[in-house]
């Protein structure tokens, strides 16, 4: 039996390089060897945007982008979270065994509560239980996510363990975060703010063309340049090199690294090269995004078929969960 994998992305905007290198790249690889469920977390997006302009269209956008990145509906089950209502029942059960204190202590909750003080809603507080429900509904063992999801993953394991202990069963596996590389991936922003993220407003999106990428990359924060050979790179410079590492050739990386080491680096040259390499990386994906986005009928069919498969798996789990809790 193949191992079960689940992961999702919120449809609060388009896919950016952080999403791609933190998560989607793993999806594409894992679909070859695992039993994968990749969804669009539209319910989760309501925790920050309770009045979405067009949530159906936003989900379709991510679906088109998933497909453009190479996620294949023949290999993986692709669906929209809100099409699988079984998740809600599991969310409810998990919430009965989730405690206010531990939910309030989550850093993502604290951060969001700080950012939207007028809307510290219960959905935000129970974000980790809904995420755990997404994962446990298929009894997944691996979850490809970026570094920013580590705490949510810890919570998911905690809820799985607690359910098993509470009802004296060995039912839910404890899902593990999965990364292709040794370390969890954190794609930086180019504005010196740390992580690339939609709420940070510093994203380079997969749909972007060379001109708009160049504009963003040329604005990347740098310093006045190295003065001591072979010195350690400050964070903003390391960030540029992290990008070179993921989108450029090894020769390009080595070239600029040498220039850094002998203090002859010109950031303008590095940025030009980086912008060109990101644009080249984007180009084929960008083309396919346009193709898939134009074919809404196909998108709908894929979403319907995916939902059917996801519901089948979800139904099996929720029926057993009901039995375990005592709804016979």
Using CB under 6 A, list all residues that contact ligand TYM: 6-10, 18-19, 22-23, 41, 44, 131, 134-135, 143, 145-149, 152, 185-187, 195-197
* Distance between CA atoms of residues 198 and 236, nearest Å: 19
| CB 88 within 8 Å of CB 153 | no
What one-character DSSP code corresponds to residue 16? B
| Residue 233 annotated to the active site | no
Task: Provide the minimum distance between the beta carbon of 229 and ligand TYM in the complex, in angstroms, as a whole number.
Answer: 31
- Whole-Å CA distances, 217 to 100, 113, 116, 254, 272: 42, 31, 29, 20, 8
Q: Which is nearer to ligand TYM, 246 or 298 (by Cβ)?
A: 246
| CB 267 within 8 Å of CB 298 | no
Residue of minimal Cβ distance to ligand TYM: 22
Q: Which is nearer to ligand TYM, 114 or 328 (by Cβ)?
A: 114
| CB 143 within 8 Å of CB 160 | no
**Angle separating helix axes 127-136 and 107-115, nearest 10 degrees:** 130
Q: Which of 75, 158, 186, 195 is catalytic?
A: 195
Task: Provide the minimum distance between the beta carbon of 224 and ligand TYM in the complex, in angstroms, as a whole number.
Answer: 27
| Residue 198 annotated to the active site | yes
CA atoms within 13 Å, Cβ hemisphere of 55: 17
Q: Which is nearer to ligand TYM, 69 or 265 (by Cβ)?
A: 69
Residue whose C-alpha is closest to residue 108's, from 91, 127, 122, 94: 127
* Distance between CA atoms of residues 238 and 256, nearest Å: 12
Task: Provide the minimum distance between the beta carbon of 82 and ligand TYM in the complex, in angstroms, as a whole number.
Answer: 12
Q: Which is nearer to ligand TYM, 44 or 157 (by Cβ)?
A: 44
Q: Which is nearer to ligand TYM, 19 or 293 (by Cβ)?
A: 19
| Residue 195 annotated to the active site | yes
SS3 228: coil
Phi/psi region, residue 212 (left: phi>0; alpha: psi -120 to 50; beta: rest), is alpha
Task: Provide the minimum distance between the beta carbon of 10 and ligand TYM in the complex, in angstroms, as a whole number.
Answer: 4
Task: Provide the minimum distance between the beta carbon of 30 and ligand TYM in the complex, in angstroms, as a whole number.
Answer: 13
Residues identified as active-site: 112, 195, 198
């Amino acid at each position: 039996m193949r191992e079960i994998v689940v992961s999702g992305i919120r449809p609060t905007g388009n896919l950016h390089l952080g999403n791609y290198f933190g998560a989607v790249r793993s999806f594409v690889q894992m679909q070859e060897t695992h039993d994968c469920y990749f969804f669009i977390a539209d319910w989760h997006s309501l925790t920050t945007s309770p009045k979405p302009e067009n949530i159906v269209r936003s989900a379709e956008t991510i679906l088109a982008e998933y497909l453009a990145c190479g996620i294949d509906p023949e290999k993986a089950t692709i669906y929209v979270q809100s099409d699988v209502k079984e998740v809600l029942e599991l969310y409810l059960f998990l919430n009965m065994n989730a405690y206010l204190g531990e939910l309030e202590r989550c850093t993502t909750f604290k951060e969001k509560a700080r950012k939207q003080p007028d809307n510290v809603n219960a959905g935000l507080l129970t974000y980790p239980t809904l995420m755990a429900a997404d994962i446990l509904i298929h009894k997944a063992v691996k979850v490809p996510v970026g570094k920013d999801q580590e705490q949510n993953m810890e919570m998911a394991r905690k809820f799985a363990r607690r359910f098993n202990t509470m009802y004296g069963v060995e039912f839910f596996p404890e899902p593990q975060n999965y990364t292709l590389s040794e370390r969890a991936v954190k794609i930086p922003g180019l504005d010196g703010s740390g992580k690339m993220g939609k709420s940070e407003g510093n994203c380079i999106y997969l749909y972007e063309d060379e001109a708009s990428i160049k504009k963003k990359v040329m604005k990347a924060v740098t310093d006045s340049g190295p003065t001591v050979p072979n010195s350690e790179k400050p964070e903003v410079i390391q960030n540029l090199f992290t990008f070179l590492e993921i989108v450029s050739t090894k020769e390009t990386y080595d070239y600029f690294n040498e220039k850094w080491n002998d203090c002859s680096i010109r950031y303008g040259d590095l940025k030009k090269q980086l912008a060109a390499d990101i644009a080249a990386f984007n180009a084929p994906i960008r083309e396919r995004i346009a193709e898939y986005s134009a074919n809404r009928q196909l998108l709908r069919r894929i979403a319907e078929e995916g939902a059917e498969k996801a519901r089948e798996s979800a139904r099996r789990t929720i029926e057993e969960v009901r039995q375990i809790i005592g709804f016979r």
